[in-house]
Amino acid sequence: DVVLTQSPATLSVTPGERISLSCRASESVDTYLHWYQQKPNESPRLLIKYASQSISGIPSRFSGSGSGTDFTLSINGVELEDLSIYYCQQGNSLPTFGAGTKLELK
Amino acid sequence: EVQLQQSGAELVKPGASVKLSCKTSGYTFSNYYMSWLKQMPGQNIEWIGNIYGGNGGTGYNQKFKGKATLTVDKSSSTAYMDLSSLTSEDSAVYFCARRAGRTYYFDYWGQGVMVTVSS
């Protein structure tokens, strides 16, 4: 199985700042890497597909980059509503998820 | 509007089985795969398997073979997952999620159902 390692596990943020979350794959997944946001007691929501493709209805402050084994989710101007857990997921082989990065208020 | 509506929370005894449902609307059920995923409290998300709405063809994560059985009812656009021989390790939230096209990402999710295994 492809192992996805997300860092940091927790990130303390201040509203308005630009942040980057990392996801590293144990082997190349090309650009078959997707990002989700999950709020407490809710189901995950797709944010970014194929590493960098935007999703309709998702605010433009969310963006993704990377290919192969190293990927980044960026939030340009964090808002309070963004305080959630963010997961990466690879779809190059049978799907696996990272352990998540939790955004909390500084 | 695409919607996936899952059945309610379940409290089941060890050794028993449970059948979860995921009723869909807003899209052509037979044109997509439905996946099921498991999330234990405070933990990672695991993919259990998927089933094609058109012909019921299935694929499973090896870890869940023998534990989960996926079926569909095309007439009601509903997907089902049977979980058997339940133990405390099966206590978790289970999601259904539509697999987007031929590749593995999930564009619509059910609200999740909590399964608690306890005597």
Question: Rounded mean pLDDT of A52-74?
Answer: 97
What is the reported pLDDT for B103?
Answer: 81
What is the reported pLDDT for B41?
Answer: 86
> B86 or B101: which carries more pLDDT confidence?
B86
Residue B110 reports pLDDT greater than 90: yes
Express as a percent the part of chain A with pLDDT over 70: 100
Question: Number of Cβ pairs closer than 8 Å across A and B?
Answer: 52
What is the reported pLDDT for A71?
Answer: 98
Do the Cβ atoms of B68 and B89 come closer than 8 Å? no
What is the reported pLDDT for B97?
Answer: 98
Beta strands in A27-100 (DSSP E): 33-38, 45-49, 53-54, 62-67, 70-76, 85-90, 96-97
Q: Chain A contacts of B106, Cβ < 8 Å?
A: 34, 36, 44, 46, 89
- The SS3 of residue A70 is strand
Q: How many CB atoms lie within 10 A of CB A72?
A: 16
Question: Rounded mean pLDDT of A7-13?
Answer: 97
With CB atoms and an 8 Å threshold, state whether A32 touches B104.
yes
Residue A55 reports pLDDT greater than 80: yes
Instruction: Report the residue of B4, B45, B108 to disrupt the A interface, i.e. the one with the largest count of A CBs within 10 Å.
Output: B45
Question: Rounded mean pLDDT of A35-42?
Answer: 96
B16 lies within 8 A of chain A by CB = no
Q: Chain B contacts of A87, Cβ < 8 Å?
A: 45
What is the reported pLDDT for A9?
Answer: 97
Question: Rounded mean pLDDT of B57-82?
Answer: 97
Mean pLDDT over the full length of chain B: 96
Q: How confident is the model at residue B87 (pLDDT cuts 50, 70, 90)?
A: very high
Query: How many angstroms separate the CA atoms of B116 and A103, rounded?
Result: 28
Residue B53 reports pLDDT greater than 80: yes
B61 lies within 8 A of chain A by CB = yes
What is the reported pLDDT for B43?
Answer: 83
3-state secondary structure chain B: CCEEEECCCEEECCCCCEEEEEEEECCCHHHCEEEEEEECCCCCEEEEEEEECCCCCEEECHHHECCEEEEEEHHHCEEEEEECCCCHHHCEEEEEEEECCCCCCEEEECCCEEEEECC
What is the reported pLDDT for B102?
Answer: 76
Question: Rounded mean pLDDT of B55-65?
Answer: 95
B71 lies within 8 A of chain A by CB = no
Residue B61 reports pLDDT greater than 90: yes
Per residue in B10-36, pLDDT tens? 999 999 999 999 999 999 999 999 999
Query: How many angstroms separate the CA atoms of B78 and A1, rounded?
Result: 30
Query: How many angstroms separate the CA atoms of B26 and A10, rounded?
Result: 37
Mean pLDDT over the full length of chain A: 97
Per residue in A83-96, pLDDT tens? 999 999 999 999 99
**What distances in angstroms separate CA B6 from CA A58, A91, B3, B47, B109, one per listed residue?**
24, 24, 10, 17, 10
Express as a percent the part of chain B with pLDDT over 70: 100
- Least Cα separation, residue A96 to chain B (angstroms): 7
B58 lies within 8 A of chain A by CB = no
